[in-house]
Structure 1
Amino acid sequence: MDSHLHPSVTARQRYSLTALFAAVANLTACGGGGGASVDTPAPLPTTQSVQIAVIDGAIKGAVVCLDKNANGICDTGEPSGVTDASGKVSLDILIADVGKYPVIASIGTDAVDADHGAITTPYVLSAPADQPAVISPLTDMVQQHLVAAGGTTAAAESFVKAQTGLAASLFSNYISGGDATATIVARTVVLATQAQLDVLKTLVGTKDAAGNTIAQADINNAARQAIAAVLPAVAAAATDASVSGSSSAADKDKALAALATTLVSTQTGLDVTNAAATVASNKAPIDNSAASGTPAAGATLRAFTFTDANNWYYRAMESTAADNTPDANKFTHYYDVHSANVAGTVNTWGYNTDPGRQADQHWNGSAWVACPLGTRSSNSETDATGHRNYNYCDGFEVGTSLRTAQDISGKSLSDVITNQIRSFPGADSGVSYATFGPANMALLGTATFPDQSKLWAISVVPSTAAYAYDVRSSNVVSIFNAAVAAGGNAVTSSTVECAKVNSTNASAYRSAPATLEDMVAHSPGVPCVFAQGSNADGASLASNEWWSNSTLGLGSLPNAQTQPAGSGKYYTTTAALRMSFTGSGNGVNYYNCLVRNADGSIRNCSLLGTGSYKIEALGDARVMSFTGLPMMANRLSYKRIFVERGGQIFYGFQNQVGRTTYTLRLNLPAANALFTQLGMSPIVPQ
């Protein structure tokens, strides 16, 4: 009998019910005479009370609900409630729905944050279906990743931890737990979301790029998606010196608000000029339909510019009918095509936007390989949520993608390109969406897209990326000799070797190391100190330190820092991330350095943190990789590695994983309609 009871019934309840049923059976067996009656057992519970806390600080007056239709709104009929002064609420949820749908908190101007006061810009937070106990900015970032990448909540949490540098559970109440770092990161997420919402607020009630009315929920979703996509920059802002140096909570919040506003203006790329296209793609139905009938050739046009018949560029992912026939593992295949016509000369290649990098090598797990034109990549079948797995270029990148589809059949080429593609934020393959298509849009005339034309919006989330490097000689590491790398004070001693180096003779002091150990020995992180300098751009800092002599580059972040007070434009606003070796074990120092405007010289580095390196043998190469990279480095699109191979050391890279990118693509009928209108040969997969 117990096997038929609902699983939420406790052992004690099962025991009581069993005893009651036994008593009833005994009465029946004895005839139950004399008109005696037996009480009917109480019905089993159909709902479960779920306790939820909403925090940035504890938020009073937030409307919390079970978002059963995943629209980001608390609709009529969805279990809901309002948080009390401690930020808590209890929802009675059908037992069948528990753990099945995400929970959301709608935080309006009638809500009050116990730590930050009255809410001035409404916003929305969410938490995954299987972790509803706390709704916070951190759980919202986990949920955003789940939407983009699919998979498990645990995997999504691990991703957000890697992006933010947080170690404790993201589903805990960090306010009551006293986790200061999590509190600051979460607050930055809220302020950045509010700053993004303020930028987009005038769009509510207007039309999106597909002609549908934009609701507040559409703006909320677009803003949260935009912040999740630049989460490393959010976390880096939270560690800024203006925050750590604040003397009061109010000053700290003010500093975070300023950083959040800057982050939105420089990082997300989402504004009133392109949000309508983002909303349209977000609202389009998920394309999780499997191909039916006989497989046919296909393609997606990702990037396209056209000046005239002799000057154009495009990138397309192409597949033949055979490629679109699932193999024994139910994978379909495709290959990458870049094609450029420059002054009448056409060049077609497969990997990277730079045709000179076709020989790039990456480690596929068993060998160093390249990605020549025709290399097949693979896609799995779509799952129930529309996600599918991909393996690009023999293990160069592996991840998940999600595709929505808009039917653009019968729409004018000019209208779709102008209002949907050119209005979409960002770029693909080095081509800004703002320049997609012909420079002279009049060439499109009144032509319309044929039947079966689709505009696809695709979100891509890499989960693993290979070690890779550019094999060209220009990418070989060069270091200064030991005397120059030793640095010194050129103000007090004119004989220090580093003081003799200038832009004209620098090559005479440099050479290419043959081993990683040689590179380590010549990169101790000791600057060459000069007297304060000045030029037409302004003046240097009083301690004018040159660091190129003894550090190596991790990467550069344009517009990532302010010019020092009093320097004018002596320095750029680029943050040059550098590294050196401590000489103790495998220790590494990481720096943020200024860049001199006149010549790009690396100046006045400040320590960001420390880490370590490891060297591993992969095939006939040795690869150096790093741990403990500073949070600012997460804003790069890659992680720096070094590859020793064939007696040389190359600057290598490993693309960042987990970061969501959004692209628009035309399918084959739509792409060929565009090419035909411009007099170009159609795409013919082969």
Structure 2
Amino acid sequence: MQFKYSALAASLVAALTLTGCGGGDSDSGSTPGGNNGKPPITGPVVGGVVITTIDGYLKNALVCSDQNANGKCEANEVITDINGNLVLTNEKGQLDIQVEKSIEEAIKKAPIVVKVLEPFKDYSADGFTIEPGIYTVDMDQPYQAMGKNVEFRAPAGSAIATPLTDLIVAEMENGSDQATAEASVQAMLSDLKGEDTSLEIDLYADYINTKEDTGASDAEKQLATKLHKTAQILTETQHQADDSIDLDEVAEQVVTEAVTAVNDATTDELNDPDFKPVVPVDKNESGETVVEKPVVNYQASVDETILGAVSTELTNAIWLQEQILPSLVTH
């Protein structure tokens, strides 16, 4: 039986993407080009960065260029626009900004880390300036915060960051080169293909877009649906795991259990964003990391109707307080 319960949650406004470029005008003169023989005054060469972050599409996520390759999103690695403004991802999960061409090239040479922002958390100690009330929303459930301390990684040059690209980096951390790591992760996920072994698992594809692509076959859409659910399970697992556990060390075991849970799920469960099994990972008495069987979990959900009803009740309660409290004080 599926159990759901409601919680108060607030939607938020996506951060504005601020863009611009420098430049200057040269003085007119008698020499060719109108600059009196002086070198022309130019602004920086402008490039662009588009990075898509997906569990579902992640709105208001922080994106970093992992220059020291430690797998963490650090203050001096936050990707900003050409004016130095911190920009978060939009409703399509995209960081879409203009940067100087040299910065664009530097970003492509470093791994990517995406950080989920938790509600009302003070990030000043981490060096981030995040406005109060700004937090990451998974657009699979757009009316509530993710509320999870989660980071996704992607190899250098990737334009997409998901729990699946995070697996590639995990394999690379264990000593594989990128091509070998990609092949290993595809093998881990291969049972999702079912009987149609001709299907290809593109670890850098937008599986949400594939699910809605009218040009995709039914088999491709089904595979994309399973990849989406697998990504959700991996996110839940990372969130539930203790910070002392190195999930990279047991990535293959976790994926095996996640794939089993997905293949055992019904069609309705695969399409239910609240159905998010978790793979428990803990340490035993000997200090060894143990991966357990998936636990079925239905995440609490808040839809637009519930949010509107709760907001109305709060408004009415505030009005009553304003009407009654003054009379109580006077008596």
TM-score bucket of the superposed structures, by smaller chain: 0.5 to 0.7
Alpha-carbon separation, structure 1, partners of 2:293 and 2:57 = 35
SS in 1 for 2:268: coil
Q: Note closer, same or farther for the CA distance 1:560–1:115 as it changes in structure 2 (3 Å cut).
A: closer
CA contact (8 A) 1:134 1:171 kept: yes
Cα distance per residue 1:139-193 (max 9 Å; x no partner) = 11112112213313x3322221111016142111111122442343343343344
Q: Note closer, same or farther for the CA distance 1:69–1:42 as it changes in structure 2 (3 Å cut).
A: same
Q: Note closer, same or farther for the CA distance 1:65–1:247 as it changes in structure 2 (3 Å cut).
A: closer
Counterpart amino acid of 2:56? G
Counterpart amino acid of 2:147? T
Alpha-carbon separation, structure 1, partners of 2:103 and 2:274 = 40
Q: How does 1:493-642 map to 2 (within 5 A)?
A: none
Residue in structure 2 matched with residue 90 of structure 1 by the alignment: 96
The yes-or-no answer on 1:176 pairing with 2:201 is no
Q: Note closer, same or farther for the CA distance 1:37–1:181 as it changes in structure 2 (3 Å cut).
A: same
CA contact (8 A) 1:144 1:228 kept: no
Residue in structure 2 matched with residue 286 of structure 1 by the alignment: none
After TM superposition, give the deviation of residue 560 of structure 1 in Å: 9.2
Residue in structure 1 matched with residue 165 of structure 2 by the alignment: 139
SS in 2 for 1:145: helix
SS in 2 for 1:140: helix
Alpha-carbon separation, structure 2, partners of 1:58 and 1:43 = 38
Q: How does 1:345-384 map to 2 (within 5 A)?
A: none
After TM superposition, give the deviation of residue 54 of structure 1 in Å: 0.7
The yes-or-no answer on 1:239 pairing with 2:263 is yes
Residue in structure 2 matched with residue 108 of structure 1 by the alignment: 117
SS in 2 for 1:90: strand
Consecutive unaligned residues of structure 2, counting only runs of 5 or more, are 1-30, 80-86, 119-134, 194-199, 212-220, 296-331
Of all paired residues, the percent bearing the same amino acid is 25
2:174 to 121, 145, 148: 148
Alpha-carbon separation, structure 1, partners of 2:157 and 2:249 = 21
Q: Which has the higher helix share?
A: 2
1:157 to 155, 169, 182: 182
Residue in structure 2 matched with residue 66 of structure 1 by the alignment: 65
Q: How does 1:34-73 map to 2 (within 5 A)?
A: 37-43=36-42, 45=44, 48-73=47-72
Calculate the TM-score normalised by the size of structure 2: 0.56
Cα distance per residue 1:229-267 (max 9 Å; x no partner) = 432222222111xx22436833x742x42xx2xx32xxx
Alpha-carbon separation, structure 2, partners of 1:113 and 1:121 = 11
Q: Note closer, same or farther for the CA distance 1:42–1:134 as it changes in structure 2 (3 Å cut).
A: farther
CA contact (8 A) 1:54 1:135 kept: yes
After TM superposition, give the deviation of residue 559 of structure 1 in Å: 7.2
CA contact (8 A) 1:136 1:186 kept: no
Alpha-carbon separation, structure 2, partners of 1:248 and 1:231 = 17
After TM superposition, give the deviation of residue 47 of structure 1 in Å: 6.5
CA contact (8 A) 1:53 1:135 kept: yes
The yes-or-no answer on 1:424 pairing with 2:288 is yes
Q: Note closer, same or farther for the CA distance 1:187–1:104 as it changes in structure 2 (3 Å cut).
A: farther
After TM superposition, give the deviation of residue 136 of structure 1 in Å: 1.1
Alpha-carbon separation, structure 2, partners of 1:183 and 1:233 = 17
Residue in structure 2 matched with residue 185 of structure 1 by the alignment: 227
Q: Note closer, same or farther for the CA distance 1:40–1:73 as it changes in structure 2 (3 Å cut).
A: same
Q: Which has the higher strand share?
A: 1
Calculate the TM-score normalised by the size of structure 1: 0.29
Counterpart amino acid of 2:254? V
Counterpart amino acid of 1:162? A
Q: How does 1:463-478 map to 2 (within 5 A)?
A: none
Alpha-carbon separation, structure 2, partners of 1:159 and 1:248 = 24
Counterpart amino acid of 1:61? N
SS in 2 for 1:83: coil
Runs of 4+ in 1 over 6 A off after TM superposition: 558-561
Q: Note closer, same or farther for the CA distance 1:168–1:424 as it changes in structure 2 (3 Å cut).
A: closer
Residue in structure 2 matched with residue 223 of structure 1 by the alignment: 247
Alpha-carbon separation, structure 1, partners of 2:91 and 2:224 = 22
SS in 2 for 1:94: helix
Q: Note closer, same or farther for the CA distance 1:64–1:72 as it changes in structure 2 (3 Å cut).
A: same
Residue in structure 2 matched with residue 21 of structure 1 by the alignment: none
Q: Note closer, same or farther for the CA distance 1:137–1:199 as it changes in structure 2 (3 Å cut).
A: closer
2:146 to 109, 114, 119: 119
CA contact (8 A) 1:122 1:194 kept: no
Give 1 or 2 for the bigger CA radius of gyration: 1
Report how many aligned residue pairs link the two structures: 221
Alpha-carbon separation, structure 1, partners of 2:186 and 2:274 = 23
CA contact (8 A) 1:193 1:227 kept: no
Consecutive unaligned residues of structure 1, counting only runs of 5 or more, are 1-26, 201-215, 275-421, 427-557, 562-686
Counterpart amino acid of 1:38? G
Counterpart amino acid of 2:266? S
Counterpart amino acid of 1:244? T
Cα distance per residue 1:457-488 (max 9 Å; x no partner) = xxxxxxxxxxxxxxxxxxxxxxxxxxxxxxxx
SS in 2 for 1:150: coil
Cα distance per residue 1:300-329 (max 9 Å; x no partner) = xxxxxxxxxxxxxxxxxxxxxxxxxxxxxx
Alpha-carbon separation, structure 1, partners of 2:114 and 2:203 = 17
CA contact (8 A) 1:137 1:187 kept: no
